[in-house]
Amino acid sequence: MDLSQTTAMDLLNAIAAGRLSAVEVMQATLERIATVNGSANAIVALRDPDDLLAEARALDTGPNRGPLHGLPIAVKDLVNVAGIVSSQGSPIFKDHVPQKDDLIAARMRAAGAVLIGKTNVPEFGLGSHTFNQVYGATRNPYNSARTCGGSSGGAAVALATGMVALADGSDMMGSLRNPAAWNNVYGFRPSWGRVPSEPAGDGYLHQLSTLGPMARCPEDLGLLLDVISGPDPRQPYWDASPSASPVEACDMRGLRIGWLDDWGGAYPFQHGIRELCRNALDVFSQLGAKVTPVVPPFVAERIWNSWSTLRAWSVAAGLAELSEQRAALKDTAQWELDRGQALTAMQVHRASETRSEWFRCAAELFQDYDALILPSAQVWPFQIETPYPTDIAGTEMDTYHRWMEVMVPVSLIGLPCLSVPVGFGAEGLPMGMQVFGPRGSDARILSIGAAYHAATRWPQKRPA
């Protein structure tokens, strides 16, 4: 058994049945990291191997602690983990070692996972390109000269290269879906509120970012989703959707799938991306679903203006306490901070009114469709030295993140969304597309993904 490509479910079942020990899984994990992480730079702040093996040994001799018993997981470096450097990719926090786990880390630890270290991120998670002054850049395993995406880039690369079987990510503007697409793995953005955020600061106003699972198959996504989901009594909002695991492939016959393509020409794409996604739509048709093109249901520019206002407001709120250290922040963080602090209350209110209008429009649309589909990225993985794309197919980008606009219709209104792999382009680089549904349809979206995965198994394939 090649443990580096074994699913999390299979590893956990083997540990539970005594066919594998947690120590054997940990040894294989450490050997794989030693082999590939030097070039990939996906896992950072790795704990001492002897300590990790001792923790695994204690799990082997103790009672089963939960659904992740004995599984090594590297936690995204935007999350505080007790005893592990938690830098957020910022020189300001390069030596920060928390004494307490953030909520998501505590839930994974309580479920029996061994938290081995961190996965690399952009500074404060800003921008879908994983590089920072603390650890450097994480490289795409399909072409080391290209970006792996971000902000969950380290997590995606760790999965793609077999260093871990399961990973946590987070997603505001596509930070989980974009790197999943660019690394030939799956990433799931849950319904907003299903996975609680850290109970700190404001708990009412900001509803854009969410934590979520990443894996090499939808079944593993459901496993981690259930571990990190559920209400936290210190937070006012939560989604009471039923458990997602075990994820079982649905019968696609008669399923109504809507293809939004380039939103009526509103979103520019590099050559080959839309074509690859259209080929993937054929899989849905072959499985019995009815796939039809959808006329853009809402003005794209209104969605963008609402999003960019609410995002700047949210990011600036998160960075506000670092205002006096502004010069130490990267340029895009400074831009977000300045823009967010300049907003008026009425500008934020009007942006949220547009968000509410788009939510109502989408709810009506889902009366006619079981799921909608968009590409997961507008560009192929770009050169690792490039901070961000400034144009797409001749269309100039007016912000550092406009090139990710295809993610925004989902992100703005907190819909559950699965990024599924769709294969490889002419240069052998991976791509993906987003399958999303109404709030609360998380389990159904994952079951659609499971049926698609059974028919394609892209993470187990390589480009010619």
Please identify every residue annotated as catalytic: 76, 151, 175
Residue type, 420: V
Distance of alpha carbon 58 from alpha carbon 276, whole angstroms:
47
Residue that is written with structure tokens 């957020």 in the block: 88
Handedness of CA 106, 110, 113, 115 (dihedral sign): positive
Which residues are CB-neighbours of 85 under 8 A, at least 6 positions away? 45, 94, 95, 96, 97, 118
Radius of gyration over every alpha carbon of the chain, rounded to an integer in angstroms: 21
User: 368: how many CB neighbours lie within 10 A of its CB?
Assistant: 10
Q: How far apart are the first and last CA of the chain?
A: 24
Which structure tokens are listed for 186? 């799956």
User: 279: how many CB neighbours lie within 10 A of its CB?
Assistant: 11
Residue type, 354: T
Distance of alpha carbon 116 from alpha carbon 80, whole angstroms:
13
Distance of alpha carbon 328 from alpha carbon 321, whole angstroms:
13
Helix axes 273-286, 442-456, angle to 10 degrees: 90
Distance of alpha carbon 388 from alpha carbon 137, whole angstroms:
13
